[in-house]
Every structure is written in C-alpha cells, then in structure tokens.
Chains A and B, each alone.
Chain A
C-alpha cells in the first residue's frame, strides 16, 4: 500500500496533461456523393487532468472510445475539437512539423508487442531509433543508453542483437516498454499493455510497470478493459461509456462504492476467482449491448441499459458533476442502484 501515494498530494500541483472538451468524429460510409456518410462521435467532449507522477486508469468496453482517446492525445490522428495541454501547451492543433519537438515528451506502449515491433530490425535498432531521430546522444551515448534501457526492463543486454520473433510475448512487451522509455517522456499512454499476455506473464508486466513509475516518477494514462489490473496500477480511474467519461475519481473510492450504475454493473460483471460463499458482489446483468456510437440514444447514453433509469434520463443528458467525495459522475441519480 505504501507504493500508492495519497492522491490528494497530486491535486495541488499543476496537471501535466489537461484535456478539455476533446472530441473525435469519424466519417463512415462516405461515398463520392456530396453530403453522404455519417458522423460517428467516437470521443465526445471528454475533459480530465493527469497530474505529474500519477497513473490515471481509463476503463470501458470495446467500442467505448478509450483507444481513440489515447491515440488522439498522442496526436496519432487529428482531433475534431477541444484542447490537449501538455505542460501548459496546447498540442491539439499543431501541425506534424510543429508537433515534432513535443513528441519525445509523450510515448505510447501498445497492446500487441508482436505487431508494434518491426520484425526485420534488431532490438538494438528498434530502441536506438527514437534516440537517433531526436538526436539525443552520440554513438557511444546511444550504446550506453541501450544497455541502461535493457537493464530497466530486466532483459539481458545480449538481447539487443536479436530479432523480436526470438522472444516470448512478455519479453516483447518489455522491449515495447523500453522503447517507450527511451526518450524519458513526461507522459506515457499505455493502451491495453497486458491484455495480449498470458495470465502468468501479466503479473510480471504489471509489477514492472509499478516499479518503473516508482523509480522514474512516470506519469501514465493506463487504458485497459480489465478493471482488476487498472485498480492495481492507478491512483485515479475514469470509466468511459459510448465516447464519454461517466465517472472519474480516486480508484479506491470508485471501486469500493461506485456511483454510476454503469460502473457498478461493470464491476459486478467481473467473475471473481473465489468460491461462491466468499463473493460479496451481487451480479447486475445489463440488458443488451453497447449501442452504436453512430446512433447514440437520447438523453443519458446509458439509459436503455440502465437498471434504474427514470423519465428524466431519457430526455436530459447528465453532465459530469463533482460529488462531495471529490469524484465526478455523469448521472442524474448517483448511488441509486442498491444491491444487497
């Protein structure tokens, strides 16, 4: 427990990342006919802060827009609206050229290390590339840094001469992490970094990530669908549903007593590896599936699946509002879903 600092310590400082009203709209089904196609709001006016040294977990089911959000922050694609302030500078509208000096301050760890490492290049080349591109060090400096990086992720330096296919999934993910750390970025966006790994290897990588953030004071946005992993690594957690954040707050608060019915349902849906007699949670079975973001429901986006929806939820969309305990919830009736 000592590892997790009191989250209140962060709130006083200036956020490293401030996201304000960020939206990303994709056009689908567009043809040559003018005006054809349909706008899909994958990320819909999302705002949040990430403080220096903090890990913010971002959870949600597939299609909720969490990966699109992560990629938008990295400016891996253009954003439709809103601001992304990294250390006080809005990078949302910068051209690729203007963006280049900022790129080294934000790096990404990808889900599938097999797909994100070039199979034709040696590990050493993969790790050296960002250093060369950003002209960080000379030849000797690069060689030194490579050994340092391998040491940080607990891999032998001899692996630098090998190719990605020679490694297991866990080792490859360590290489992916080393590459993300190569430029000593201020912000790391980790998009499902452990979900492609075998169960026995997942814990190794989760431990590695917690060690690294302690040693290097990393600031991380940790995107995952696995709530138990997010709980393990993050001080604060944000829950996304259909492009919007429905609840965000301190991880312990959120997991102990979720305010939004969706957070509650999501938590209760996780099969707990314990005998029935030792399980605490009552299962809440949601009806149906996530609606298409191309055609979102009126009012509260969650109301068609919500076990406690009222008339007001059908017409009026709830704003993300702060509660007394500091968390923010987008629900007209927080805590109203009672379970025994």
Chain B
C-alpha cells in the first residue's frame, strides 16, 4: 500500500483557558491519500478548522498546545520550524478559506496578490509571474482575466473572489489543497460552479483535496472518503458510499435525516437532533454525543469503543446487530431545546 500524502496520528489540541487548558481536539487520526478528496463534516465548534490550521503551524504557540504527529510526504510537519513550514505552505499545501474577502489584502489588486505568492515560491520574474497569474485566473473560469487581475478584491463578486482565491492556491501546483467551507458564503448556483471547478482541478492537476463543510449535499457530490467530527473527535469515518448507504454513528444519522428532502413526500416533521453541541470545556464524560443521542444506553456513560470493519470505523458502542433498529426509531418527542 502506498504511503499516504498526509498521515495524522493522535492529534490533540488544547487552548489555554481561565481554569487551565481546554482540550478542543482529542486524538485525531486520519490519512489523506494521493489524488483523493477527503471531506470533513461537522458543525461549528467541532474542531475541523482548528485541526487543519494546527498542521499548517497557524495556531498561536503561546495559547495553544498541539500533540501528536502529522507527516506530510513522510516528514513530520507538526512542530516544524516556521522556516520549513514556509516552504510547505502555499507551495505544497494551499489553503482556501471560507471568506475570501478577509484572506486577501484589500489595498492590493488581485493580480498583485497572486504574483506575490508565485514569486515567494519560485524565482520567476515579475512579468512572467504576472502572465502566469493571468493564465491561472483564466483556468479557474474567469472570463476576462486581464481585467480582473487589475481589480481590487472589493470590486469582485463573492463567486469571483473565491475563484481568484482558488487561482492563488493553485499557483504553485500544490499537492494538497485544503478548502475550508469554500462555498458556504456563496449562492447555490455559484456554489455549483465552484464545486465543478474543484472537481475539474483534481482531475487536471491531480491534487488531493481536503474539503471542510457542514453540508451533506456537498459531501455526497465531492467526497471519496468522509470524516464526521463532533465535539473535537472523529465519530465516524468511511468511504462516501458507505456513509450514505449505511451510516454507523447516531450523529451521522441525525445529520443525514434532518435534511428536508427536495422530492418525494414531505415529512410531517423533520427528524432532529435535540439540544446543541457542548462547549469545549463542558463536554460530558463518556460518549460526547450521548446527551443528544436517541439511541443512548447505560454503556454510553463510559468512553465508547472505536468499532472497525471494512476500512471504516465509528466511535460508538452500538454494534452491527443493533444499528438498524437504532436508526429506524427516532424519538420525535425529543425535540426539546435542552
């Protein structure tokens, strides 16, 4: 089996809190293989963004503590020097953030920002870098790249800005593209265009993509493999097909079943997950999802086992025999606000 592009083992992250450290990420293990799209799903506060920022060395070392290892192409990048990371960030691993407006310098033109990144990583002349920037803008589907390159971020629409961000991320042919909710701020018709672009990029450039999202629809369209995160842990992992065909974790059931359908009969009520995710410093002992879980049993007061089979796993005590019954009897009366 080939070595994965990115191999994360036992990643834990704590932030300094008023009453001692608060663990926000606990024992994350996952791999990103060559030329695959891995989707990380979870709600706000589940730790999906923090986990990826830590790998790029973008967390404040004074207020955060990162443990575990993350090897990218065989070398550990957790705790690597900023000098080493500078060679990796942008060139090897590129980041597309949710809000392109805050990721760009507002007083510089879009072209300038792409040129800056190109010149930082390879010694092209300014003119060659500018031409390359225009080429890239064209590749991401911008109709008049020469004009757009000379414009400032605020002059572009949300969709255009996100395309420009993607062009910037692609400028050094990164082997790994991290896209953090790249379409959340966009309208559906524009989202469809950007997702289409990302798919095309993976095919043409052969980059691997880590796509962070909370939209199961986006997951279904993009993912090869899926990680479901809840309260700083991976609660379920498996191939996209496996998760949509037969999810194992009650949280994943909730995510999938709470989406109102676009066709077929309209349900009288939606299946909903009661309550809301716990604050990082108030996570329950035992299974973190137990207080909201309709399939909860006495054993859930203890930390749940990680069940593994067929290249997928779930952090849940419910085993194969009880899974089907657990999902098909959602308790409607639990619609409380707790």
- A and B associate: yes
Task: Flag whether B214 is at the interface (Cβ < 8 A).
Answer: yes
Q: Which residues of B contact A207 (CB under 8 A)?
A: 269-270, 272, 335
Q: Which of A17-25, A30-38, A103-111, A265-273 is found at the contact surface with chain B? A: A265-273
Task: Flag whether B189 is at the interface (Cβ < 8 A).
Answer: yes
Q: Is the CB of A270 within 8 A of B274?
A: no
Bound: A265/B190 CA distance, A: 11
Q: Is the CB of B268 within 8 A of A154?
A: no
Bound: A204/B276 CA distance, A: 10
Cβ contacts B171-211/A at 8 Å (1 or 0 each)? 00000000000000001111111011000000000000000
Cβ contacts A230-244/B at 8 Å (1 or 0 each)? 011000000000000
Q: Which residues of A contact B20 (CB under 8 A)?
A: none
Q: Which of B27-35, B95-103, B130-138, B256-264 is found at the contact surface with chain A? A: B256-264
Bound: A289/B214 CA distance, A: 24
Task: Flag whether B245 is at the interface (Cβ < 8 A).
Answer: yes
Task: Flag whether A77 is at the interface (Cβ < 8 A).
Answer: no
Q: Which residues of B contact A210 (CB under 8 A)?
A: 269
Q: Which residues of A contact B276 (CB under 8 A)?
A: 168-171, 198, 200-201
Bound: A255/B258 CA distance, A: 19
Task: Flag whether B157 is at the interface (Cβ < 8 A).
Answer: yes
Task: Flag whether A208 is at the interface (Cβ < 8 A).
Answer: yes
- Size of the A side of the interface (Cβ < 8 Å), in residues, is 52
Q: Which of B9-17, B47-55, B216-224, B315-323 is found at the contact surface with chain A? A: B216-224
Bound: A170/B261 CA distance, A: 21
Q: Which residues of B contact A94 (CB under 8 A)?
A: none
Given known contacts A169-B276, A207-B269, A273-B220, A228 and B261 CB-to-CB distance under 8 angstroms: yes
CB distance from A266 to the nearest CB of B (A): 6
Q: Which residues of A contact B44 (CB under 8 A)?
A: 198
Q: Is the CB of A275 within 8 A of B189?
A: no
Q: Is the CB of B192 within 8 A of A275?
A: no
* Closest residue on chain B to residue A61 by CB atoms: B187
Task: Flag whether B59 is at the interface (Cβ < 8 A).
Answer: no
CB distance from A74 to the nearest CB of B (A): 24
Q: Which residues of A contact B258 (CB under 8 A)?
A: 199-200, 202-203
Q: Is the CB of B277 within 8 A of A271?
A: no
Cβ contacts A274-307/B at 8 Å (1 or 0 each)? 1110001001011011100000000000000000
Q: Which of B241-262 contact A (CB under 8 A)?
A: 241, 244-245, 254-256, 258-262
Cβ contacts B270-311/A at 8 Å (1 or 0 each)? 111110110000000000000010000000000000000000
Q: Which residues of A contact B188 (CB under 8 A)?
A: 61, 225, 227, 266, 269-270
Q: Is the CB of A228 within 8 A of B192?
A: no
Q: Which of A198-223 contact B (CB under 8 A)?
A: 198-204, 206-208, 210
Task: Flag whether A9 is at the interface (Cβ < 8 A).
Answer: no
Partner of B336, one of A154, A256, A267, A271: A154
Task: Flag whether B337 is at the interface (Cβ < 8 A).
Answer: yes
Cβ contacts A39-65/B at 8 Å (1 or 0 each)? 000000000000000000000011000
Q: Is the CB of A274 within 8 A of B244?
A: yes
Q: Is the CB of A228 within 8 A of B43?
A: no
Given known contacts A266-B189, A285-B196, A204 and B274 CB-to-CB distance under 8 angstroms: yes
Bound: A288/B44 CA distance, A: 30
Bound: A228/B263 CA distance, A: 9
Task: Flag whether B127 is at the interface (Cβ < 8 A).
Answer: no
Q: Which of B103-136 contact A (CB under 8 A)?
A: none
Bound: A51/B273 CA distance, A: 32
Task: Flag whether A157 is at the interface (Cβ < 8 A).
Answer: no
Bound: A271/B193 CA distance, A: 12
Task: Flag whether B145 is at the interface (Cβ < 8 A).
Answer: no
Bound: A267/B188 CA distance, A: 9
Q: Is the CB of A231 within 8 A of B277?
A: no
CB distance from B277 to the nearest CB of A (A): 7
Partner of A272, one of B217, B255, B265, B267: B217
Task: Flag whether A327 is at the interface (Cβ < 8 A).
Answer: no
Task: Flag whether A140 is at the interface (Cβ < 8 A).
Answer: no
Which of A227, A273, A290 has the most CB atoms of chain B within a 10 A radius of its CB? A273
Which of B193, B258, B261, B262 has the most CB atoms of chain A within a 10 A radius of its CB? B262
* Closest residue on chain B to residue A3 by CB atoms: B268
Q: Which residues of B contact A169 (CB under 8 A)?
A: 276
* Closest residue on chain A to residue B221 by CB atoms: A271
Q: Is the CB of B263 within 8 A of A280?
A: yes
What are 10 pairs between A and B in contact, CB < 8 Å? A1-B265, A61-B187, A171-B276, A171-B337, A200-B258, A204-B337, A274-B220, A274-B244, A276-B221, A285-B193
Closest 4 CB pairs of A and B: A271-B217, A203-B272, A203-B258, A273-B216
